[in-house]
Every structure is written in C-alpha cells, then in structure tokens.
Structure 1
Amino acid sequence: MRLQRTLIAATFALLPAAGLAAETTAPAFVGSAACTGCHEAVAADWKGSHHALAWTEPSPGTVATDFDGTAFEGAGMSVRFRIEDGRYYADVTESDGARRSYPVHSVVGVEPLQQYLFETEPGRLQSFDVVWDTEKGGWFHLYGDDVIPPDDGLHWTGPYKTWNARCAECHATGYRKNYDPATRTYASRQVEIGVGCEACHGPGGDHLAWAERWKTTGEPLPPTGGFTVDLADTEATIQQCATCHSRREAQGDGNPLPGTAYHDAFTLALLRPGQYHADGQILDEVYEYGSFLQSKMYAAGVGCTDCHKAHTATLRAEGNAVCAQCHSPAGNPRFPTLTPADYDSPAHHFHDQGSKAAQCKSCHMVERVYMGNDWRADHSFRVPRPDLAADTGAPDACTACHSDRTPPWAAATLEAWFPDSRHRIPHYGQVLAWGRADPIAAGGDLGTLAGDSSHPGIVRATALWLAAQGADAALAGRLAPLLEDADPLVRAFAVQVQRAAPPTERVSRLVPLLSDPMLSVRIEAAKQMVDAPIARLPPAMEKAYRRAMGDWQAALGTRMDFPETHMVLGSVALATRNIPAAESAFREVTRLDPQRAEAWIMLVRLAAATSGDEAARQVLTEALAAVPKDRTLRGFEAELAAAAQVARP
C-alpha cells in the first residue's frame, strides 16, 4: 500500500470539513464580569486598558469621533459618516462608483487610531481602511493616497481584511472563527469581545467553583488558582503574551486554550526578508515576540511583566525609569550578570540629559510606524551597530536620527565614546545577509550559525531556513543533529534542510519527528514527507505518520478562508498528481485574491498541460485582466502567440 495515494491524496485533495480537528473538552469560560466582584482593584485597572477596549460595541463612550456629518475624501473613494436613530453609519462610494451604506458593527482600539468594522455579509466582518487619528483628530486612509479597487485582494472588503479570519482571535476572549468552506460563510463566536480576564488566565469555571466551595469549606487554593496558565512562571507568561504579540501562523481555529505551549499552537515567523532586516531589526509589522527572543534580556530571564503592568498594560515607570529598575548603580539581584552602572547619564548616552535622544529607547528600541500613525518599538533591545551597515544593509539608531550623517561616521563616533566596547564583534546579521544574497555560497556559515546554541533560537532557525534553499546532501547530513535540538523552532526548520538528503535518509531522519511533542514540528515533518518514497512503514511509524498528516490537515482546515492555504493545497495536490484538485485549489486562490499571480501561473500551466494551448490562452486572458503587468504571464502570452504563429499554415 502506498501511503501517498491512500492517505495524502484522499486527505488533502479537497480537504472536506470532516477533516477539521475535533473540539476537546475544556474548562468553562465565565466572562470577565464574574471576576470583578472579588478582584475589584485589578478589574478597575483592566477596565480602562487597551486590552479591555481592544474590541467594543459602538456607543458614545467608545466611539472616539463625531460621526455626525464628518467625511473623508481620498484614495479614490469618499465616505460620509452619520448618526441616525442612535446608530452609526458610513456611506461609502468606492473607486468604481459603487455606493453602499454600512452600519458600524463594532469598534477597534483606543489610540493612536481607531478602526471600525462593517458586517458586509451575515456573520462576515471587515475592517474598514478609513480610520480616525485619535491624537491629531481627522480621518485618514491606511494606504495613504494609493487607490485599492474593490476587486483587489488588499481592498478592505478582501480576504486580508476579514476580521473573523485575521484579527478577531487577538481582540476577543474564547474566540472561535467557525468558517464553513462549503458555503464560504462565518458563524464566529466568542465568550466576550475585548481581551478579558480569561484571555490571559484561562477559563475561570474551575476557579469560580473553588471560590464558591471556599466560602463554606475553606479549602486551599488549587495550583495556579485553578486556571490553565501559571502566570507566576516567567516563560509561561511570555508565551501567553506571545499568543497575540507575535507574527505567526496559527494551527488552530481561534484562540488556543490559554496555557498551550506556543509551538503547539503557532509557527513563529522567522527573520525573513520583508518582515525583518537581515540583522533582525523590525521592518514589517511583526509585533514584539520575534524581536524579544533575540534580546539578551530574554536570555537573562526578563519577562514581559518586568516592564509592563499586567492589568493596565502600561509601563511600570515613565521614561528611562523603567530601564533603571535594573540598569542602574544598584543593579538588580535577579540578574547578577548585569553590570551595575549609571546608564541614565551623559557619561553613557552622550546626549543632553532629559532630551529625546537621551531616552534609552531612542538608541536601544528604535521605533517604526505602522498603520499610518502607530509607532512601535523594536523589542530586541540591541546595541547600535552602524559598523555593520555595509554588510547587512540594515539601518542603525544613530543615522536614523542624524540623517545627514553616514554609518561610518556613526561607527567612528561610537568607537571614540566606547573604546573598550565588547560589542564590535561579528554579528549573526552578517551571516544572514550573506545567506539572503547567496544561500548556496553561504551554506557552510549558515550551518555553523544554526549549530551555535549561544545564539537565539529564532536566529538559528532563520539560518536553517536560508540554508535549506541551497543545501546539498552533505549539509543535510551535517545539520541532521539539529533535528534533536532543545528548541522546537530549530527542530522545525532543521526538517526543511533534510529535503536535500537522499530520499531514504530523509525518511529515516524525519520519522521520529512525526511524534515530536510540539505540533509545529510534527506538521513540518509531515510536509516534508508528502513526496517521500514510502511503500510501507512499521505499524507504530505508520500510526505516527497518519497522526502527523492529520495534524497538518486539521491545521489547514482552520485556514480555508486564506488564499495562502489553497496555494499549499494546490502544491500538495500536484505532488500527489491529483490535477483536478490542484486546479480547484488554485482557482480558489484567484477567487479570494485575483492578484495572486503565482496561482494564475499554475492555472495557465495546468491548462496547457491538460487541455492544450487554446485552453491556456483562455486562462491567460483571465489572468492578465487581473494582473496585467506580471512578467511571467506576459512571457506566456509571447510563447503562446509564437506557438500560434508556427501552427498557422
């Protein structure tokens, strides 16, 4: 029996709803209101926090602007905002002239901007791209002056702005997306909108039941208070915060049960081009976790709540004082490797005391702006390295402010200020930059970086991802020990390198990871086994293989509203030679996002291979209407035209 034919093709061809993961019995949610009676002080702190107000119903107390008669013009569209019978409405005229009035379903955020959700179909919520600047006042468009037409996947009505799919899980408590791929509809549910008590602590049913018993029996508080998260544990707290404060791919439907190990619920985004600079500095909207994992503070045991108050979600102190909790002449006994010194002094920062340039974050947490006006700090807490600019192409904190100067000037200045610095040493960003430019030539150094456990796991995993792009059998063998690394992120991306191994060796190395304790690792192993030459496995291995494939299927099943998912399904169908399923998958990609040129390219190729040039021309005509400037599609057009010319008598 060939498992590819019996399991993979049947499982992944159309991915029926029956393939979704079954719900497991979990403790009961009770809602934040059930907590406030006993926990009045923390409830008061939480009530006005950005967490509590992350998603609210529209009302005079939650809507930050006056809808009555305000308007927006720009980006090829016009919007008039109004209030009628106590409800909030937006009358939208799109760039194609289409007009529609939308009642505001709900409100997102507090500051520095506020966004509004419209229910465009029953159950489907879309986040509107015209938002309110709560600091300066006034409407603005998230894409500036760029005109995004309604048939573009990036339009606010498109798949990337569907609140149910992309955003709600981090703005709600106890959320389930409940997307039905057969009807392409949502029946999403949540315990409460906003980030409530149980979003971090876990379901409160057991705790509430204990509290009722305690009134009469006085029984002691159970471990972790009866909740599913031990927030007294620093690493558990970090992973719980990372559930939302990270760029990642979710493997389940909605919120994982709080307390779930991060790598059992998500695959973390690596330091990839377009998301991070080569040295790991933030570039795109990647949130905080991937940056924090690179920091020496994380390695030393610092956690989120050392700097941030848990319930107000504000800093524990203002300005440099939050850093001076540890970085001071007194130091902090929790972190004995930290050198006590006066860091909040011109002797250290070399700028006017109290100035913006003298703020710790100005040099060590460079900010970037996202969503038009939202400045967010890089949490890698890095020492400025302008001396690396020539190698990495990354920016540095010095010339970000001194824009009229150069990185060599900044490097010379720092060398004069800190002649005995321990930081002018080789940096992993140099290897990653080389790997981006030429993964084949950099393969050896990428392998060395991946194997060096003194570097952060996200760095080592990125090195493995780059190495996999140019690996050969020798490098795959050299890096095989990393399949047993302690870090699940490293294990998951060590799997990818094994595609370069001889098929039988790949199978023998990956089979153990089909039973890895972390879901993200099992799924990655399953991916790399799709086209493996397996005729038969021993019963125990076959069971692990089927389970891992089921894990992958279930994860994909929760993302059937993502164009990216159907690209994966199309690729799997091609690997298993299921051409109709491949065509169906790529068609769904183009339905969800007509601008996904890679899906059109596959459809043209499939049409040419299965039905001939005329069928390919018909698909190509559709494709060019959606992405007229794509070079590959234009190349197909020229090839088909030449073929037609040759075929003429």
Structure 2
Amino acid sequence: MPHAFSRALFIGAMLFGLSTLAATAQQRGYVGSDACVDCHTAETEAWEQSHHAKAWRWPDADMLLGAFQGEVFEHDGMRAEFWMDGDTRMVRVTEKDGVTTEYPVHSVGGVAPLEQLILETKPGNLQSFDVTWDVENQRWYHLYPDQDLPPNDGLHWTGPYKNWNARCAECHATGYNKNFDAPAASYKSTQVEIGVGCEACHGPGARHIELVSADTRPESMPPLYGFNVDFDDTEAAMQQCAGCHSRREAFGNGSPRPGTGFHDAYNLALLRPGTYHADGQILDEVYVYGSFLQSKMFAKGVGCANCHDGHTGERLAEDNTLCTQCHSPAGNDDFPTLALKDYDSTAHHNHAADSQGAECKNCHMIERTYMGVDGRRDHSFRIPRPDLAAQTGAPNACTDCHVDETANWAAAAIAEWYPNGNWTEPHFGQTLANGRADPVGAANDLLILARDDDQNTLARATALWLLSNAGDTVSLSDLTPYLNDPDPLLRANALSALRAVPTTLSAPYFATALEDPSQNVRLSAARAILSIPSAQATDALRASYRAAYSTLATFLRNQFDFPEAHMQIAGIALTQSDLTSAERAFRMAVSLDPQQGDAWTLLVRIAAAQRGREAARQVLNEALRNAPNHPGLLELASQL
C-alpha cells in the first residue's frame, strides 16, 4: 500500500476509535426562548402557535388528542397498541418476528397534519415510529404501507434511516448536537431546547441580552444587535431558512450556528433522478429551497419573508392576494421589473372565476402528498409545460386537475390560449432528461446549459454533475471557467465534472480547491482526489492526499452512524487497493443496513480475492439471507 495512503486511509479505524466530544462549545451563548418573552411579547405570542415552536415536544395534554384510548393498529404482520399508564402514553409493539416490546412515548415530532411518535429504543437512541397520528382524521396510519419492513431491515423504524438523533433532530431543535458515540454505537445528544426556538434562527442571545442590559443606546448598538443573522438581507435570511427547508447533505455534528453560510454547512441536492423530475419539478421530499432556486422570483430578489410571516410561519394571505401583492396592474415598488398586468382574471387563467383553476397556486405550484397526509407545494413557480411530457417524463399542473385528459390535450389548450407564450421557449429539462439518458451524447448541450447565466444555478450545477460521466467529450477548458465561479454550488460540481479529465491535467485544480473558502467545495475536491488511485496520481496530487484525508475525515467523523459514510470509506479503500480496509468498512455498512446489496456484492468479491471461492460462497449465503433479490448477488450466485 503506498505510503501516502497508509498514513491516513485508516479512516475507518481512526473514526471507530473516536469517542464523543463535549458539545458545550457549539451551544455556548444560548439562553433559551424564555429569555426573549419580556421584551418581544408580540413576536413570542406569534411564534408560540407556530409549527416551528411545536416541531418537537415533550408529551403533554395538548397533543395526540383522541389517541391512546386503547386503539390497536395492525399492518403487514406488525401490531401496535396504544394506551395510557397514568399520565404516560404507552405503545406496545409486536413485530413481524413475534417479539413484543413496550415503550413509553419519549416525545412527539410535528403538530399538523400529523404527529409522529419518537420512541427511545435504548438510552439516548431515539427512533421515529412508522405508525403515525393523522391529526385531521383522528386515526393511526402507516407512513410506508407499501413497503415490507421486517425488524432487520435498515428502513425498519428501529433502523439507521429512521433514527431521530441523526436524521431529524437537527431541524426540530435549537442548538442541537448529535454526539454519536461510535465505540458504544449510541447517542449522547444534547440541545438548548426542543422545538425551533428564537435562537434557532437568530443565533445565540447572550450577547444581545448583555448589550440590552447595559442600557446601550439604540443608535450605538452593533448592526445586528448582538445576533448572527441579518434578516434584512434577503439572501442571508433565505440561507438561514434553507438549512432545514432543503434536501441536503449535512456536514456537521448538529445544528450549525445561525449565520453559517449554507454551503459551509450543507451540500444541496441536485436535480437527480429519484429526487426531482428532469425538468426540476418535485418528486421526492425536497423541502422547498431547491425548488425556489429554480424560480424567476428568486432570480429577482424575492425571499421567504415576502410570502411567509417570519414568526408564525404562515402565508401572508391564503388566496390569490398573496400573489397579486406583486403580480398586478399596480405592481410592487420593491420589484420594478415586473410586468404590470391583471393576472387574477379569466383573460389570463382561462378558468371560471373563483374556481380551483383560477387559483394561482394550482397552475404554478403543483401539490404532492408526502408522509401519507402532508400536501406540499412546488416552490419553483413554473409555467405549466405539458408539451415537454414526452421528452422529460414529468407531470404537469393541467392534468393534475383534468385527470381524464392527456398531456397532449393540455399542450394544445395552452398553445391556443397563448400562441406566443413562454411555453414556446426551450427548457433546461429537455437537456437534463437527455443528459440523464446519455451524458456522452448530450455533453455539448449540457455544456451550453452550464454556460447559460440566464438559467438557474441548480440546473446548471446539475448539468456539470452529469458531465462527470461524459468521458473524453469534456475538456479542461470546458470546465475551468466554473472553478472560479462566485457560486460555490457551481464550483463544487465543476470539480465533479473535472473527474472526466485526465488526472495529469486536473490535479492542480483539485489541489487548489482544497483551499476553497466554501466547505462544500473543499469536500468535493477531497472526494475527487481520493477517487484517484495513488499509483496513478501525479507527484503534486499525491502531496495533497493528507489534506484531502483530513478534510474528508472531519466530515465522516460526524456521519459515522450513517451507512453511507462507510460506503464512502470503503470506496476510497477500494480505489487505493486496500481490500482489508474496504472489507471492514463494508461490514460496518451492512451492520447498519443489512439490505445494502451493493456492499454485500463487494464483500463477496473481496472474500473471493482474499480467501478463495469457498469463503466467497459463505459470504454470499449470508448476503442472500439479508438481500435475497439484489441483482448483483443473484448474478454472483450463478457464478459461484
């Protein structure tokens, strides 16, 4: 094993030996929301009724109304019983394997339209129970009724993907630290308070109170009054909201301190298959920010607070007046480039007044239901494009309502109403759909999309990511302009695309990116460097391995309870021909997620390479017991 690699790629062993560090540093300076009440009474009263304030709650008499009266819920061989033991809510769960366990309800996530039980399966380990209370219909229901989830499945409610400490609490608490104790495989999580309190958005309040208590005159106060976030700055405010209202990969141990730049704390999900449709419409749960970045509203400087009250979280209006505060003949002085037109009229929407078709949101914000009962709107505020359905496979708002009609019917209607409308223009979704299917064949169009400053950044970044699979159709000169782009999302994904360029040319750019001011870009550079076998690396690149390992190890240390982290470690080890480290990391992955078929497949191959055919058969038999239908394992079964 090359020396440069052996110094640091015992990442798995290094991380496994780490104990949890104390969390006091990240929580320093917090005082709790109760300290804000006396001076900010109106704001506190508005916040107290918000979904933010009730995002995570200890059990009390005001929640789960109508439940825990002896109900029984059965699903796919599992039985759950709900009752009160004095003042304690209890759940008795009999799993498909016949094992019965009783749990007191630890806490509750959310307030409407559903309340999710959080159960403590062992000290410190909190899990989100899949049987959930439907607030409106007063019933228990299963979040994933179509999935077969036995107790040994990674997606079972007791598995790593339903762990509240790791997957949920960061956005449901204030000043949260996950604190995963790797040797004990348990959590010692802490938070300033459960629920999204004042300091979750504004930042620690101790300095503010210190300034106010000193009778500092308003005119001599610091610009942010001792807080971290300037909510008069639309972009800063929106990045603060985006930390939780986005589909993203988190870098830290818990809640970043408010005021941390989004790209220093997270890697935003791109318009990838399974997450978004090719044209950027919502598919899986993506939590608004990625959609909003695609909108013309974002491009013109609109922010969250233009439509939502910052303390209640509610919309500023419930009908079309929310939109016509700007989109009207009067317009809005804050956005002077708006066309002054009457949009709330049959001449525009071609539907009967006061009908569902006359509501702006039904044409420009399609709704999709998640978690069984939670309807969420697409915030890309797009013009319906049923004419693209055949090319992109994406849905359209028209046939959401007109369910008996086709996309072609809807496209014809729009063409008749708006013969010269925006629907006649090319759409980035066409390029991304082609790039998903054939990145080599679509490489030139992907480059054109990436260069187009008039397109949204998320689509451009996705084009760059797709180019990482475009092989030698991409040159260094195609990508270098993005390596210094002001937007860190473009820089990070340009590094992904740079993997298609020969290492002799790309190495200096990867090494330089390790010093980028954005954490997201540095991580992208580290991952790219460590995907290059040491034996194939230039001397200059090999000298960057230590920095790359250090950058990636800091991130992985905070994700060691994620199967995905061990898959990354294993992948790096395989790249460097370290089969022993790879096997150890893949074993950690399948211990957390026994159905991780890709990890099992490689474990079988490693066993064959290191210990022979019989050892490989033994691992294969173990793998098939956990992932019997995985294609890679079935192929190996036919060979061994």
Measured against the shorter chain, the TM-score band is over 0.9
Answering whether residue 40 of structure 2 is matched by residue 31 of structure 1, we say no
Answering whether residue 188 of structure 2 is matched by residue 160 of structure 1, we say no
- Name 1:88's counterpart in structure 2: 89
- Name 2:446's counterpart in structure 1: 446
- Tell me which amino acid in the other structure corresponds to 1:174: G
Greater mean deviation of Cα atoms: 525-534 or 91-100: 525-534
- Tell me which amino acid in the other structure corresponds to 2:634: R
Give the alignment of 1:13-24 within 5 angstroms: 14-18=14-18
Distance 1:3 1:293 in 2: 44
- Tell me which amino acid in the other structure corresponds to 1:291: S
Answering whether residue 103 of structure 2 is matched by residue 108 of structure 1, we say no
- Name 1:50's counterpart in structure 2: 51
- Name 1:194's counterpart in structure 2: 195
- Name 2:606's counterpart in structure 1: 606
- Tell me which amino acid in the other structure corresponds to 1:495: L
- Name 2:639's counterpart in structure 1: 639
Q: Does the Cα contact within 8 Å between 1:253 and 1:558 map onto a contact in 2? A: yes
Give the alignment of 1:566-577 within 5 angstroms: 566-577=566-577
Deviation at 1:497, TM superposition (A): 1.5
Q: Does the Cα contact within 8 Å between 2:64 and 2:133 map onto a contact in 1? A: no
- Name 1:456's counterpart in structure 2: 456
- Judged with a 3 Å threshold, the aligned counterparts in structure 2 of structure 1 residues 313 and 277 are, in CA distance, closer, same or farther, namely same
- Name 1:549's counterpart in structure 2: 549
Q: Does the Cα contact within 8 Å between 1:597 and 1:627 map onto a contact in 2? A: yes
Which consecutive residues of structure 2, in runs of 5 or more, have no partner in the other structure? none
Greater mean deviation of Cα atoms: 70-79 or 436-445: 70-79
- Name 1:137's counterpart in structure 2: 138
Answering whether residue 365 of structure 2 is matched by residue 365 of structure 1, we say yes
Deviation at 1:77, TM superposition (A): 1.4
Q: Does the Cα contact within 8 Å between 1:19 and 1:553 map onto a contact in 2? A: no
Distance 1:35 1:325 in 2: 32
Q: Match of 1:472, SS?
A: helix
Q: Does the Cα contact within 8 Å between 2:92 and 2:103 map onto a contact in 1? A: yes
Give the alignment of 1:377-526 within 5 angstroms: 377-472=377-472, 474-526=474-526
- Name 1:73's counterpart in structure 2: 74
- Judged with a 3 Å threshold, the aligned counterparts in structure 2 of structure 1 residues 21 and 269 are, in CA distance, closer, same or farther, namely farther
- Name 1:261's counterpart in structure 2: 261
- Tell me which amino acid in the other structure corresponds to 2:279: D
- Judged with a 3 Å threshold, the aligned counterparts in structure 2 of structure 1 residues 47 and 193 are, in CA distance, closer, same or farther, namely same
Distance 2:631 2:537 in 1: 38
User: Deviations 1:297-351 (Å, cap 9, x if unpaired)?
Assistant: 0000000010000000000112111111101111011111111111111111111
Deviation at 1:235, TM superposition (A): 0.2
Give the alignment of 1:5-16 within 5 angstroms: 5-11=5-11, 14-16=14-16
Q: Match of 1:455, SS?
A: coil
- Name 2:123's counterpart in structure 1: 122
Q: Match of 2:620, SS?
A: helix
Q: Match of 1:323, SS?
A: helix
- Tell me which amino acid in the other structure corresponds to 2:66: T
Distance 2:474 2:311 in 1: 52
- Tell me which amino acid in the other structure corresponds to 2:308: H
User: Deviations 1:92-142 (Å, cap 9, x if unpaired)?
Assistant: 111121111110000111111111100001000000000111111111000
Q: Does the Cα contact within 8 Å between 1:514 and 1:545 map onto a contact in 2? A: no
Greater mean deviation of Cα atoms: 545-554 or 346-355: 545-554
- Judged with a 3 Å threshold, the aligned counterparts in structure 2 of structure 1 residues 62 and 19 are, in CA distance, closer, same or farther, namely closer
Deviation at 1:392, TM superposition (A): 0.7
- Name 1:348's counterpart in structure 2: 348
Q: Does the Cα contact within 8 Å between 2:624 and 2:633 map onto a contact in 1? A: yes
Greater mean deviation of Cα atoms: 145-154 or 510-519: 145-154
Q: Match of 1:143, SS?
A: coil
User: Deviations 1:463-498 (Å, cap 9, x if unpaired)?
Assistant: 111111123164344222211112111110110122
Distance 2:616 2:301 in 1: 58
Q: Match of 1:583, SS?
A: helix
Q: Does the Cα contact within 8 Å between 2:467 and 2:474 map onto a contact in 1? A: no
Deviation at 1:547, TM superposition (A): 4.2
- Name 1:182's counterpart in structure 2: 183
- Tell me which amino acid in the other structure corresponds to 1:46: W
Deviation at 1:10, TM superposition (A): 4.0
Under a length normalisation based on structure 1, what TM-score does the superposition of the two structures give? 0.95
- Tell me which amino acid in the other structure corresponds to 1:147: D
Give the alignment of 1:265-304 within 5 angstroms: 265-304=265-304
- Judged with a 3 Å threshold, the aligned counterparts in structure 2 of structure 1 residues 339 and 17 are, in CA distance, closer, same or farther, namely farther
- Judged with a 3 Å threshold, the aligned counterparts in structure 2 of structure 1 residues 412 and 280 are, in CA distance, closer, same or farther, namely same
Distance 1:84 1:12 in 2: 44
- Name 1:322's counterpart in structure 2: 322
- Name 2:98's counterpart in structure 1: 97
- Judged with a 3 Å threshold, the aligned counterparts in structure 2 of structure 1 residues 618 and 224 are, in CA distance, closer, same or farther, namely same
Q: Does the Cα contact within 8 Å between 1:471 and 1:497 map onto a contact in 2? A: no
Q: Does the Cα contact within 8 Å between 1:19 and 1:557 map onto a contact in 2? A: no
- Tell me which amino acid in the other structure corresponds to 1:148: L
Q: Does the Cα contact within 8 Å between 1:42 and 1:311 map onto a contact in 2? A: yes
- Name 1:643's counterpart in structure 2: none
Q: Does the Cα contact within 8 Å between 1:74 and 1:145 map onto a contact in 2? A: no
Distance 1:253 1:571 in 2: 23
- Tell me which amino acid in the other structure corresponds to 1:506: S
Deviation at 1:409, TM superposition (A): 1.3
Q: Match of 1:616, SS?
A: helix
- Name 1:586's counterpart in structure 2: 586
- Tell me which amino acid in the other structure corresponds to 1:588: M
User: Deviations 1:30-64 (Å, cap 9, x if unpaired)?
Assistant: 00000111100000000010000000000111333
Deviation at 1:536, TM superposition (A): 4.6
Deviation at 1:71, TM superposition (A): 2.0
Q: Match of 1:246, SS?
A: coil
Q: Does the Cα contact within 8 Å between 1:238 and 1:303 map onto a contact in 2? A: yes
Q: Match of 2:141, SS?
A: strand
Which consecutive residues of structure 1, in runs of 5 or more, have no partner in the other structure? 641-649
Greater mean deviation of Cα atoms: 482-491 or 39-48: 482-491
- Tell me which amino acid in the other structure corresponds to 1:227: F
Distance 2:20 2:525 in 1: 19
Q: Match of 2:424, SS?
A: coil
- Name 2:170's counterpart in structure 1: 169
Q: How many equivalent residue pairs?
A: 636
- Judged with a 3 Å threshold, the aligned counterparts in structure 2 of structure 1 residues 493 and 502 are, in CA distance, closer, same or farther, namely same
User: Deviations 1:345-396 (Å, cap 9, x if unpaired)?
Assistant: 1111111211222111100000000000100000000000011111111111
Deviation at 1:456, TM superposition (A): 1.1
Q: Does the Cα contact within 8 Å between 1:364 and 1:381 map onto a contact in 2? A: yes
Deviation at 1:22, TM superposition (A): 9.7
Greater mean deviation of Cα atoms: 185-194 or 522-531: 522-531
Q: Does the Cα contact within 8 Å between 2:11 and 2:569 map onto a contact in 1? A: no
- Judged with a 3 Å threshold, the aligned counterparts in structure 2 of structure 1 residues 467 and 451 are, in CA distance, closer, same or farther, namely same
Distance 2:627 2:545 in 1: 40
- Name 1:236's counterpart in structure 2: 236
Deviation at 1:87, TM superposition (A): 0.4
Distance 1:12 1:144 in 2: 36
Deviation at 1:160, TM superposition (A): 0.5
Under a length normalisation based on structure 2, what TM-score does the superposition of the two structures give? 0.96
Greater mean deviation of Cα atoms: 1-10 or 75-84: 1-10
Distance 2:347 2:19 in 1: 62
Distance 1:537 1:408 in 2: 56
- Alpha-carbon RMSD across the aligned residues, in angstroms, is 2.0
Distance 1:380 1:21 in 2: 41
- Judged with a 3 Å threshold, the aligned counterparts in structure 2 of structure 1 residues 435 and 85 are, in CA distance, closer, same or farther, namely same
Q: Does the Cα contact within 8 Å between 1:80 and 1:92 map onto a contact in 2? A: yes
User: Deviations 1:504-550 (Å, cap 9, x if unpaired)?
Assistant: 21112222211111000011101111226456549xx95x7644532
Q: Does the Cα contact within 8 Å between 1:476 and 1:500 map onto a contact in 2? A: no
- Name 1:226's counterpart in structure 2: 226
